[in-house]
Amino acid sequence: MKKILLTGVNGQVGHALAAQLQQQPIAQVQLISCTRQQLDLSQPVHIRQVIRQVKPDLIINPAAYTAVDQAETERELAFAINATAPQIIAEEAARVNAALIHFSTDYVYDGSKATAYLETDAVNPVSVYGASKLAGEQAIAAVGLPHLILRTSWVYGSYGKNFLKTIIRLAQSREQLRIVADQHGAPTADIAIAEAVAQLIERWHPHNAEQTGIYHLVNRGETTWYGFASEIVAQYQALALQQGWPALLLKALQAISTAEYPTPARRPQNSRLVSNKLEQVFGVRLPGWDTSLAQVMPALSALEN
């Protein structure tokens, strides 16, 4: 893989991937990173033009429509970016003999399973966002090119808008926060995703058809949004003492149910994904979610203060 085309470089995962691949470049690889302006996934003609011009050996596509609630009223746009665009990317990748790494989501499941989801479990999205991402997966598979579809969950980092940064911001200005405690999953750091993908690039053999397919890629362990928020606050407070950062105004976190925090889009109550297949096939093992949080937190805290 001599030339890699990376989409969505201004997004959380795209930004982390660009930093990772530039910091630890794979031998003799040229990385072409594209912003939305440089590769607009809502414009099919633009997608085809860019891929035909670049002629990459590998396309990495973390770009997506991720406004989960807004997608309920913007179904056409969500499907254009999350379903139609991946199909076109796959078609053009096949045309230039490129492989494809594409990112998907835990939202392809309905969350009704009692235990963690395997890649072989039945999908049943309960939101427009989830349905659009599933359609993208299916479109890529139908093209039949060498591909890895990486389903991840609860993505956060020090860059962009996410739950981690929201909790810190609110904890700096409010004495009490109400956080959903009956949705379960694994917070997954953008840097953990980027490190795993860098390993995949080195270990994946696209000509090996047995490696093509869907993989879960999440930090190990599980928690709830309430548990995640509690750990964020605890780690921030420990760093604040060490580094002399301002204390949080927050005095209490209150656990609430999903019913007490209604949203336009329904969320899976169980978003737990098993990543064993990724480890078995490629030897890629992500750290525990709290470990990755500890790696992200110093950069976030410095940024916020």
Q: Using DSSP, state whether 221 is helix, strand or coil.
A: coil
Q: Can you state the percent helix, strand and coil of the chain, rounding each to 5? A: 45, 15, 40
Of the candidates 236, 227, 232, the residue with the CA atom closest to the CA atom of residue 255: 227
Exposure letters 183-201 (e unless 16+ CB within 10 A, then b): bbbbbbbbbbbbbbbbebb
Q: Is 79 exposed, middle or buried (0-12, 13-18, 19+ CB in 10 A)?
A: buried
Catalytic residue among 65, 109, 129, 226: 129
Residues for the chain: how many in total?
305
Alpha-carbon distances of 240 from 35, 233, 236, 295, rounded to whole Å: 34, 10, 6, 15
- 129 carries an active-site annotation: yes
Alpha-carbon distances of 287 from 28, 149, 236, 239, 292, rounded to whole Å: 28, 20, 20, 21, 7
Annotated catalytic residues are 129
